[in-house]
Structure 1
Amino acid sequence: MGATRPIAPSRSLIWLIGLSIALNYIDRGAVSVAAPLIQSELKLSATGYGVIVSAFYWTYVPCLALAGWLADRGSVHRLMAAGVAVWALATAAIGLAGSVTVLIILRLMMGLGEGVAFPCGSKIIARTPEAGRGRANISLGLGIALGPFIGTLAGGFILARYGWRPMFIVFGLATLLWLVPWAGRRSEVDQPGAAQPLPTMSWLRLVQLPQLWAMTVLHICASHGIYFLIAWLPLWLVRVRGFDITDMALITGLFYLVQAVSGWVAAVVSDRMITQGRDASTIRKTLLLLCMAIATTAVLALPGTASTPLLIIWLVVASIGFGPLPNLLFTAGQTLAGPESAGRWVGLQAGVGNLSGVIGPVMVGMIVDAAGYAPAFWATAAIMVTGAIAFAAGVPRLKPIAA
């Protein structure tokens, strides 16, 4: 009997994965929403705040690769449940943290738990046929955008009335509720649906592929741009532009809302063009490079804006560029790997790619302490250009690579 393709996941399962990603970003981004209050209470410099942001990625990065390997070999359902439980409890416990040391330890635990989400989600979504994969990955892209949007608005509301500690407790306990619908999905999640599984790409074969490393460099550089705005936009709006907490939450929320809409529109339009017979590789590669160009231009323009309306316009432009990028990064990795190897490919790509989260916050904090925010924006734009060049040169076509 020949090898058969796995059964595609149901739409409800895909959106449940998307909800987990939204909760993932609500919880990890809560520290940036609360940054003005945490920085004042704990008397942190910009570099010190950068270390707290970075601590999450010290465990998150290695866990991504490990989770990718486990997702290809064992129960995705159990792995995902364990990860969500760990990060939810750690998030809630931050509300009780009494020192910077405890805060860093809990951020490390959050990174350990959240590291399972993208490899597990990509392992499931990679079972979707090519023409529908962009729309399936909307669940990841919308989660990345709507999570910070919801977290910023809800967090801003809680911060203004009750302080930063109750915000973390509420967010963590809310994430635990996700485990209730997930509990009944084991048969669908772990059912490969293949009479004879397709071969899985070996680690040796994987690490020898130039396409993997080109995608990884792109992931590092694009993620740095996204994480830069997630971590530093609230502080920049409050400390440099003079907005209060409520206005900061509204402006930042607008950025995330447009980012979500942009990602959804790009996925629907690109999938429709592919369904109509357009070349999937050309469509997705062109769209990815265009989005990098738009986002980079906006990042360069933001620190020089002189008025609030112009600032909002450039933030909208940035969100239009950044919106489709997470979706495209994961769709590209899943396509190149194929469904049987998607867990380890995406785990390695995202794991190494998220080194930007380890290095970037501390680097930006040092730049801000030494020279202000404008050079940090310029450095971010230069890093993003580097990623676009690496992708354009290193990935000639987005098509499955033989195991």
Structure 2
Amino acid sequence: MTAFSGSPTPHHLARPAGRARWTMIWLAFGATTINYLDRANLGVALPYMTEELNLSKTGAGVLLGAFFWTYALTLLPSGWLVDRIGPRRMMVIAVAGWSVVTMLIGAASGFLVLLLLRLLLGAAESPSYPSSTKIVARWFPSKERAMAASIFDSGGRAGTALALPVITVVIAVVGWRGSFVAAGLLGLLFCALWLRVYRDPETHPRLSAEEHAYIKEGGGADAGSDVPPMAWAKLLRYRTTWGMIFGFFCLSFVLYFFITWFPSYLVDARGFDLLKLGIFGMLPALLAIPAQWLGGALQTRLINAGRSVSYARKVPLISGLVVSSVIVFAGVVESPAAALALLALSQCALCFAASSLWALPADVAPAPGNVASLAGIQGFASNIAGFVSPLVVGILLDSTGGSYVAPLAVAGGVALVGALVYAFVIGKIAPLGGAATGPAADAAPTPQQT
């Protein structure tokens, strides 16, 4: 029996009649949507919480970023746990945990209580992305991974987009505290659906033999594989791993502006009222959803046309980050409409690039037991950016009298650095342990074959 290889995909494989794998990834989309709805709730409610709780801009930046302190730190053990006990159990534990914490935020009485609950929320949400990445690896051949990953990850844009109109309506009716309670209840309802519907391929009662064979022949990773995982310390010897870390940091630095400070930007810098915020504020995130699906579909098309996995993954990564740097101009144009258009283009380009991100762990994992761990490692870096980005924006706003020119200029520069990382730090995208994974691979061992 040979070692797991996540990258090669026979291009000639015909699509089977079964659709069970797509049901599973749309469930993961639902989990991600709720995940982002809950984490974005604070950003939407913040303009209405600030006066009641006496929060400064810097204090608000700390609260927005505090989520990512524990989220980033717990991504590492969460990825390891998902690899060991599977996505079905870990996902329901995560959704139930963060839903309860979200409801408790609605009862917060001051800065310190909010800070503690944001820290708990970060820890509770951390298993979500490693679980969804594991689902991609188990349920999809490599030529469909980018499309599958784009679907579940676009739940982040859906949750962010829904947060603006839905939560603003809830705030208008029952106040900002009620918005957190409602979001938490939605998550608890989803837990029941998840337990009823989700199964791994080996235990799914409605997965046809034809579809199962299609997944396996295309490089899908079986949960029961006996290929031993590579130790974490050895994963970090590879240049590819470090490219995934630094590249994802740069992309996330820009993306988290939209998740955290974007509603405040529209209110403070562009004078949007509650109605305009709810209507126009959701447009960039809504447009970013089909942009991300387009990136995933493009990769499937490129691989089917005979292009390498490396080429297919890097085209959206590099081009998307370059285009996203137009965010810098949103800080200097006079027209609110032009600024909104530039920000929408930037977020669409970021999500076009992001279509590759959560396919990479399965592409480069040397064994099935490393997929969620690699997702946790790159996610750790992403969410260090999630802490740094809102804090940097808050500090720059306080130091410049509330101007968004400097924060948006910094974001544009970071996007260009990310494009350079994906272009030149990551070499050929292939399972770690082969000669093609970078100079560091020369000194790194290859997993044993059994």
Q: What amino acid sits opposite 2:126 in the alignment?
A: G
- TM-score w.r.t. length of structure 2: 0.85
Residue 328 of structure 2 corresponds to: 300
Residue 357 of structure 1 corresponds to: 386
Q: What amino acid sits opposite 1:170 in the alignment?
A: A
Residues 59, 210 of structure 1: CA spacing in aligned structure 2 closer, same or farther, 3 A cutoff? same
Q: 1:274-323, CA deviations, whole angstroms, 9 ceiling, x for partnerless residues?
A: 112222211220221000011112x1110112113312321231132022
Q: What is the CA–CA distance in structure 2 between the aligned matches of 1:116 and 1:387, rounded to whole Å? A: 25
Structure 1, unaligned stretches of length 5 or more? none
Residues 196, 289 of structure 1: CA spacing in aligned structure 2 closer, same or farther, 3 A cutoff? closer
Residue 248 of structure 1 corresponds to: 277
Q: Of the candidates 104, 108, 111, which is equivalent to residue 122 of structure 2?
A: 111
Q: Post-superposition shift, 1:193?
A: 4.1
Residue 82 of structure 1 corresponds to: 93
Q: Post-superposition shift, 1:196?
A: 4.4
Q: What amino acid sits opposite 2:78 in the alignment?
A: A
Q: Post-superposition shift, 1:199?
A: 3.1
Equivalent positions of 1:49-198 (< 5 A) are 49-127=60-138, 128-185=140-197, 187-188=199-200, 193=222, 196-198=225-227
Q: What is the CA–CA distance in structure 1 between the aligned matches of 2:263 and 2:65, rounded to whole Å? A: 16
Residue 331 of structure 1 corresponds to: 359
Q: What is the CA–CA distance in structure 2 between the aligned matches of 1:317 and 1:161, rounded to whole Å? A: 32
Q: Of the candidates 26, 46, 54, which is equivalent to residue 15 of structure 1?
A: 26
Q: Post-superposition shift, 1:340?
A: 3.4
Residue 280 of structure 1 corresponds to: 309
Residue 395 of structure 2 corresponds to: 366
Residues 267, 157 of structure 1: CA spacing in aligned structure 2 closer, same or farther, 3 A cutoff? same
Residue 342 of structure 2 corresponds to: 314
Q: What is the CA–CA distance in structure 2 between the aligned matches of 1:223 and 1:84, rounded to whole Å? A: 22
Report the secondary structure of 1:10's partner residue.
helix
Report the secondary structure of 2:307's partner residue.
coil
Residue 422 of structure 2 corresponds to: 391
Q: Post-superposition shift, 1:4?
A: 7.4
Asked if structure 1 preserves the Cα contact closer than 8 Å seen for 2:91 and 2:127, the reply is yes
Q: What is the CA–CA distance in structure 1 between the aligned matches of 2:319 and 2:35, rounded to whole Å? A: 27
Q: What is the CA–CA distance in structure 2 between the aligned matches of 1:157 and 1:194, rounded to whole Å? A: 43
Which of structures 1 and 2 has the bigger CA Rg?
2
Q: What is the CA–CA distance in structure 2 between the aligned matches of 1:279 and 1:189, rounded to whole Å? A: 27
Residue 214 of structure 1 corresponds to: 243
Q: Post-superposition shift, 1:176?
A: 0.9
Tell me how many residue pairs correspond in the alignment.
401
Q: What is the CA–CA distance in structure 2 between the aligned matches of 1:219 and 1:163, rounded to whole Å? A: 36
Q: 1:155-204, CA deviations, whole angstroms, 9 ceiling, x for partnerless residues?
A: 12112333211111101100111111211356427857466433312212
Q: What is the CA–CA distance in structure 1 between the aligned matches of 2:91 and 2:202, rounded to whole Å? A: 11
Structure 2, unaligned stretches of length 5 or more? 7-18, 204-220, 434-446
Asked if structure 2 preserves the Cα contact closer than 8 Å seen for 1:76 and 1:190, the reply is no
Report the secondary structure of 1:324's partner residue.
helix
Q: What is the CA–CA distance in structure 2 between the aligned matches of 1:185 and 1:100, rounded to whole Å? A: 39
Write 1 or 2 for the structure with the bigger share of helix: 1
Moved more, 136-145 or 80-89: 136-145
Report the secondary structure of 1:323's partner residue.
helix
Q: Post-superposition shift, 1:400?
A: 2.0
Residue 345 of structure 1 corresponds to: 374
Q: Post-superposition shift, 1:273?
A: 2.3
Q: What amino acid sits opposite 1:116 in the alignment?
A: P
Q: What amino acid sits opposite 2:165 in the alignment?
A: L
Report the secondary structure of 1:112's partner residue.
helix
Asked if structure 1 preserves the Cα contact closer than 8 Å seen for 2:143 and 2:299, the reply is no
Residues 167, 196 of structure 1: CA spacing in aligned structure 2 closer, same or farther, 3 A cutoff? closer
Asked if structure 1 preserves the Cα contact closer than 8 Å seen for 2:157 and 2:288, the reply is yes
RMSD: 2.0
1:264 aligns with 2:293: yes
Q: Post-superposition shift, 1:259?
A: 0.5
Residues 189, 25 of structure 1: CA spacing in aligned structure 2 closer, same or farther, 3 A cutoff? farther
Q: 1:216-253, CA deviations, whole angstroms, 9 ceiling, x for partnerless residues?
A: 01111110100012211111110111110120122220
Moved more, 388-397 or 83-92: 388-397
Residue 233 of structure 2 corresponds to: 204
Equivalent positions of 1:8-47 (< 5 A) are 10-47=21-58
Residues 194, 353 of structure 1: CA spacing in aligned structure 2 closer, same or farther, 3 A cutoff? closer
Moved more, 99-108 or 286-295: 99-108
Asked if structure 2 preserves the Cα contact closer than 8 Å seen for 1:5 and 1:194, the reply is no
Q: What amino acid sits opposite 2:268 in the alignment?
A: R
Q: Post-superposition shift, 1:333?
A: 2.9
Q: Of the candidates 56, 59, 81, which is equivalent to residue 48 of structure 1?
A: 59
Residues 184, 290 of structure 1: CA spacing in aligned structure 2 closer, same or farther, 3 A cutoff? same
Q: What is the CA–CA distance in structure 2 between the aligned matches of 1:5 and 1:294, rounded to whole Å? A: 33
Residues 186, 269 of structure 1: CA spacing in aligned structure 2 closer, same or farther, 3 A cutoff? closer
Moved more, 103-112 or 274-283: 274-283
Q: What is the CA–CA distance in structure 2 between the aligned matches of 1:186 and 1:259, rounded to whole Å? A: 27
